[in-house]
Amino acid sequence: MNSFVSFLDKSPDLIRQIVEDGLAIKSGSRHPENLTGKTLGMLFFNPSLRTRVSFDQAMTRFGGQALTLSASGDVWNLEFADGAVMDGTTVEHVKDAAKVLSRYVDALAIRSFGDLKNLSDDLQEKVLRSFEKYAEIPVVSMESACEHPAQCLADMMTIRERHGKERVKFVLSWAPHIKPLPMAVPHSALLCAAHLGLDITVAHPPGFELADSYLDYSRSVASSFGGSVKVSHDQDEALSDAVVVYGKNWAPSSAYGDPTRLASMLDAHKDWLVTGDKIASASTLLHCLPVRRNLEIADSALDSPQSAIYDEAENRLWAQVALLDHVFSS
Ligand code: CP
């Protein structure tokens, strides 16, 4: 089965091929055949605008259909622990839900963010991996605790459109926020640039390290395509000669589970706001959206000529058509 839960499960060549397919589908030179007559079930444990609408449109524009379910209102409260005595608030075990949904739809897409209490728990991707374990159909991530593969494919498309196959400097810059956010998008931004073989700098204040497993994997993939990965704590220096800038907040995993420390660490770096002046040398600014304007990234950057945020959002649609064409290809 062609499940798509994590880039780490997939060969870099397959990922690059899906991106090329997305570009060809967008240009009209390739027609995806495999969505016709298929139904995608979409189960959301968290809110969404882009992911929900773009997956829905990817299916319906190419002859399939999508069914949207909210985990907080449309389905029973799910149990994930194997062997649990279900005498509390959970009503249906994921084992039963996944097997039943497998009889109704052709693939199951899941959005489930991390708890931000313990990084090693988040890295286990309990919700996505439980559905993958029990489902009898492909399971697709619509963003999990530590990764956002569909966003990553769209980001790769956007860079390919604007920079071709040039090996440019890509800076993933930490940006301020008022609430702790997961590392799924920054991990995927890193994977995006690594799979394009770019020269990557991850710039963040001390204490905001990304997960070692994603850094190590990205170093290996980037170097296999001629690129590199380094980490900097100096935003100005990192951005001074950047060509592609990805601005994004994420919470420090060293303070997961400690709300007071999380809040004080987030509050201490408001000067990392990504502004138009800071990205003056760059050609492209990316952000997955939604963005808190003038808290995380300033209007002067988001509304600048370098900003590719709306192309990037549009590319979610085309990237997902290519991804679903692959998922349904068996
Ligand atoms: N970028 C993204 O995944 O947006 P949504 O959370 O609105 O789906």
What DSSP element (H or E) covers 325?
helix 309-327
Residue identifier of the C-alpha nearest atom 4 of ligand 1:
50
Q: What is the mean pLDDT of each run of 10 residues along the chain (330 residues)?
A: 96 98 98 98 98 98 98 96 97 98 98 96 97 98 98 98 98 97 98 98 97 98 98 98 98 94 96 98 98 98 98 98 96
**Concatenated DSSP letters of 135-203:** -SS-EEES--SS--HHHHHHHHHHHHHHHTT---EEEEEE---SS---SHHHHHHHHHHHHTT-EEEEE
147 Cβ closer than 6 Å to some ligand 1 atom: no
Which atom of ligand 1 lies closest to the CA of 288?
1
Q: Which of 289, 312, 317 to mutate to test ligand 1, by most ligand atoms within 8 A of the CB atom?
A: 289
What is the Å distance from ligand 1's center to 296 Cα?
Answer: 16
53 Cβ closer than 6 Å to some ligand 1 atom: no
What is the Å distance from ligand 1's center to 54 Cα?
Answer: 9
Torsion of Cα atoms, 67 then 71 then 74 then 79, to 10°: 120
Under a CB-based contact definition with an 8 Å cutoff, are residues 234 and 206 in contact? Answer: no
Which atom of ligand 1 lies closest to the CA of 142?
3
Under a CB-based contact definition with an 8 Å cutoff, are residues 153 and 176 in contact? Answer: no
Between the alpha carbon of residue 203 and those of residues 25, 190, 199, 207, the distances in Å are 34, 11, 13, 11
Report the pLDDT value the prediction gives residue 330, as an integer from 0 to 100. Answer: 76
- With tokens 């905001």, the residue in question is 208
What is the Å distance from ligand 1's center to 149 Cα?
Answer: 12
What is the Å distance from ligand 1's center to 50 Cα?
Answer: 5
Whether the CA torsion 23, 25, 28, 31 is positive or negative: it is positive
Q: Could you tell me the domains of the chain?
A: 7-147+316-327 (3.40.50.1370), 151-312 (3.40.50.1370)
